[in-house]
Amino acid sequence: MAEFTEPTDPGVGVLTEKQAAKYLGLAPITLKRMRKDGRGPRFVRLTTKRLGYRKASLDEWATERETTA
């Protein structure tokens, strides 16, 4: 995965789409497409126009995709 820098505000519990994509090593557009297709990680609808991702949801989603082959 790409190097990720935690948000500087310790009170931030939800990552932006851009931060979440970087954390997963994906392009933001890829994360967006996966969300629209129902294949992406769980997200939080913050407002009608904004959404975010909890780090725990990203980790869970990535863990579900681990494989040995």
**pLDDT tens per residue, range 6-41:** 554 544 589 999 999 999 999 999 999 999 999 999
> Apex CA 10: angle with CA 60 and CA 51, to 5°?
55
Residue 5 has pLDDT above 90, yes or no: no
Q: How far is CA 30 from CA 19, 23, 41, in A?
A: 13, 13, 12
Q: Is the pLDDT score of 3 beyond 90?
A: no
**Three-state SS string across the chain, please?**
CCCCCCCCCCCCCCECHHHHHHHHCCCHHHHHHHHHHCCCCCCEECCCCCEEECHHHHHHHHHHCCCCC
**pLDDT-based confidence at 1, cuts 50/70/90?**
low
